[in-house]
Structure 1
Amino acid sequence: MPRYLTEQDIADFRAELCRVATERFARFGYEGVTMRQLAEALGCSPKTPYRYFKDKADILATVRAEAFARFADALEAAAAEGEGPLDRARCVGDAYLRFADEHPHAYRIMFEIDHPIGDEHPDLLRESRRAHSFVTQQAEDMVKAGLIDADPLLFGLSMWAATHGLVMLKRAGMLDHGPDIGKLAGYHGALMFKGALVPPKKKGGKK
């Protein structure tokens, strides 16, 4: 007679399946992972994962949504520690680099998996948008505070692109003999901030 599965049993299996899937997707990409391989890694029947998820795409969407949620939570917590828009932006940047370093598999499945994010997976769409909007929110806050004169979306996305680029360079070993990634990020951020400073006349001086 089959053992009755409690809600905790189901939650534990889903969590372990997501953990294994995150690691496999990060290492081999979406196309390099099969449901059978996931079942083998978990030591269960090939049909078992289908009792918990519709298909491989459903698993990927679930683990990506979880990754984006953890990422956004980390950025929000860091921002709460900052004093003023500029300090919050610095705290968020530090948290971004720290998350990428401490959670490499989560970072890879968020940004290195070539798989669409659409309405068919609302949790993933919501969490990815939350992370996206929070990264660019720092630029919007600096504009509102009169610290920079720039399109906040372009400024925020440019900062994001530069930070992501540094993460990828570090992963490729291209920064092994160069400056610390945090120092490089701070240098680039200072240059962008300096280039976008509000001219004195826009702060209330005579034109």
Structure 2
Amino acid sequence: MPKTLSSHDIQQFRETMRRVAENAFATRGAQGVTMRELAKELGCSAMTPYRYFRDKDEILAMVRAAAFNRFAARLEAAAGQAPDTHPSAVSDAYVAFALDEPHAYRLMFDLTQQDSGYPELAAASQRAWHMLSSHFERLVAAGVLEGDPQLIGYAFWASLHGFTMLALANQLPLPRAQQPAALKAPTREAVLAQIRQMLWRGAQPQRT
């Protein structure tokens, strides 16, 4: 008869599974990972994970929720430290998270999963979107930007996501630190600055 699991036992196993599963899903794809393989990597029996999770999809939802929460926390910290008239801190934090945690970032946005069956995942993804939305609501309310704050937020998100995915695919110029000093070429930082400038100017109130 299996022993009764304490809340600490459950939390510890789930966190260990999260770390193992994040790497497995990112490197082999969600369809390329089985519960049996995850159990083997954890060094436990094939049935042990079922004491903690319904199935593989629940594990994937946990991994993605944790990633969204780390992502949202990074954006929230940046927004809290920067004045409302300066958008670069949030966009820099967005890109920095993706480059620091590429596996997690790809799992967040490359997969389709029904949020309705996983309230923690739904709450985590909404936390990230709410942060961006409220950030631009403040800027519009202050008269710094003009327009629908949700549309502006989506435009920034879509643009930053495109930049980030190109950076992760090594399809953008090298960062400044990796370029020879004599090379006269755009840098990855310059591309991001150009995106921010174009979006920012496009959303500023029209002066007459």
Give CA deviations for 1:29-86 in whole Å, capped at 9, x if unaligned: 2211110110111111110111111111111111111111111111111111012x22
Root-mean-square deviation over aligned CA pairs:
2.0
4+ aligned runs moved over 6 Å, structure 1: 1-4
What letter matches 1:94 in structure 2? D
Q: Distance in 2 between matches of 1:148 and 1:5?
A: 53
Counterpart-to-counterpart distance in 2, 1:98 and 1:112: 18
Structure 1 unaligned runs (5+)?
202-207
Distance 2:55 2:186 in 1: 44
| 1:22/1:106 contact within 8 Å kept | yes
In structure 2, the CA distance between the partners of 1:28 and 1:153, relative to structure 1 (3 Å rule), is same
Q: Distance in 2 between matches of 1:123 and 1:10?
A: 16
Q: Confirm or deny that 1:145 pairs with 2:142.
A: yes
Do the aligned residues in 2 keep the contact of 1:166 with 1:181 (CA within 8 Å)?
Answer: no
Alignment TM-score, normalising by the size of structure 2: 0.87
2:103 corresponds to? 105
Structure 2 unaligned regions, length at least 5? 175-184
- Alignment partners' CA distance in 1, 2:154 and 2:198: 15
Given that 1:67 and 1:106 are in contact with CA atoms closer than 8 Å, whether structure 2 keeps it comes out as: yes
The percent identity for this pair of structures is: 43
- Do the aligned partners of residues 5 and 125 (structure 1) sit closer, same or farther apart at CA in structure 2, a change above 3 Å counting? closer
Which whole-Å CA distance do the structure 1 matches of 2:206 and 2:2 have between them?
Answer: 73
Distance, in Å, in 1 between the alignment partners of 2:173 and 2:112 is: 27
- Tell me the distance in 2 between the aligned counterparts of 1:49 and 1:121: 18
Say if 1:146 and 1:198, in contact at 8 Å, map to a contact too.
Answer: yes
Aligned to 1:204: none
Q: How many residues align?
A: 198
Point out the more displaced range, 190-199 or 71-80: 190-199
1:11 alignment counterpart: 11
